[in-house]
Chains A and B, each alone.
Chain A
């Protein structure tokens, strides 16, 4: 019963019931981040006066802009590749479904670390560690093999270690395609992921969400339906 309610109910109703749902219609968990921040900023009239959707769109636009802008500024100042394509989906995940296990710090850091390791490992296996990046150049059979191996290994390891984080797939291809492949760059890449996680912790906690510091939060249904006893028969 509990779970059926979670599936059927609108997230707003859930919020009224005092629970923060992990799932929800379009909003995912994002509406709670926004509401929390607006309450903190005494701006709740924004939500009362305007439709939810445009407010959410504006919020995610500004949030995406700020989080990536900070990383890009750091990249310019330090001259290191702190900005890379796989940060995009990770940032989206952090603020769109902050309480999903995929968006937890553990899954994010472990996922990207697996991606980097699998990517570099596949370069070693195919002997491409010193090869020029495959961007804009014809792809050799070796390069295709490296890409397939790295993505396969990343996906498999993420499932095996129970820390799935889909954007890690992009990370591993960035490495195995040679876009960023030097070991110092790979360290910077992981550091960039950690910095983005810190931003997510600050913003989501400021919004009053129980965003975890490391492990995923238990689902709201977990405590109430231990070993499936609460399910309808």
Chain B
């Protein structure tokens, strides 16, 4: 928390910022939810570009940020796939990339939940395949034509994934995509499963670097401290908009 590095602050109050984390902890401040706006603000302050926030509407700045960030994520994963010589991009990586920057401190966005969630999903997808006695089938997967046996496979895979994630306290919603991908037979080989987990690791690594650059205590493994915890709340509520604009004024004045 050096000079100029923003800390997470309470956006909706009159108290002045920047305040440093330890003080806030000492005062028992429960903190507020942390979202993408804080990531962008932190990065811009670190880059000494806070004037960007003064001059432009928050919407376009945030949109430009996620656009760039998503492009970086996909490029990193594509590069990994090319290096591994089994070129493959997975649809399930996209929601992860969105989640870790959108609500970085939500339990669902922690590295632990991301990695365990996808591992659970791969396992559940295999159980689904096995139950439908499709396992090892060499028939080419056609995602646009669903067979009767696949009904059992996908339903079982998703049911098991969500049930296990709740039971093991590792909710991570993008894992649902992986479960259906595996159950539909679109991911068949252990190499592809490892590559998928590698892709998740890459995106988590990107999240650690960028979020921490922005001064946000994105966890290295487990969930963020409870006082920052938040579920999937977002920028669409009226309060969120007000909070942001208020914080913006305080930050840039």
Contacts and interface: CB of A to CB of B under 8 A. Distances in A.
Given A58-B163, A89-B176, A148-B71, A68 B234 contact: no
Interface stretch (A37-45, A163-171, A203-211): A163-171
A125 interface: no
Contact of A159 (B59, B68, B97): B59
A83 B70 contact: no
A108 to B, nearest CB: 12
A136 B238 CA distance: 44
B147 interface: yes
Contact of B158 (A68, A82, A166, A222): A68
A48 interface: no
Contacts, number: 313
Contacts of B95: 86, 89, 166-170
A15 interface: no
A163 B176 CA distance: 20
Interface residues of B, number: 94
Contacts of B81: 139
B83 interface: no
Nearest to B143: A179
A230 B172 CA distance: 32
A163 B232 CA distance: 12
Determine chain A's interface SS by DSSP, over half rule. Answer: helix
A166 B237 contact: no
A3 B32 contact: yes
Contact of B75 (A148, A164, A219): A148
B45 to A, nearest CB: 20
B216 interface: no
Contacts of A167: 95, 173-174, 176-177
A233 B176 CA distance: 42
Given A4-B30, A7-B229, A92-B162, A151 B73 contact: yes
A144 interface: yes
A81 B143 contact: yes
Contacts of B242: 227-228
B60 interface: yes
B84 to A, nearest CB: 11
A63 interface: yes
Contacts of A225: 12, 239
Interface of A: 3-4, 7-8, 22-24, 26, 28, 30, 53-54, 56-58, 60-69, 72-73, 75-76, 79-93, 95-97, 100-103, 107, 133-139, 143-144, 147-149, 151-160, 162-164, 166-174, 177, 179-180, 185, 216, 218-219, 221-222, 225, 227-228, 231-233
Interface of B: 10-15, 29-32, 36, 59-60, 62-64, 66-71, 73-75, 78, 81-82, 87-95, 97-99, 102, 107, 141, 143-148, 150-151, 154-156, 158-167, 169, 171, 173-181, 184, 186, 226-227, 229-239, 241-243, 246
Given A63-B162, A159-B235, 5 more contacts: A83-B154, A148-B75, A155-B69, A159-B36, A228-B242
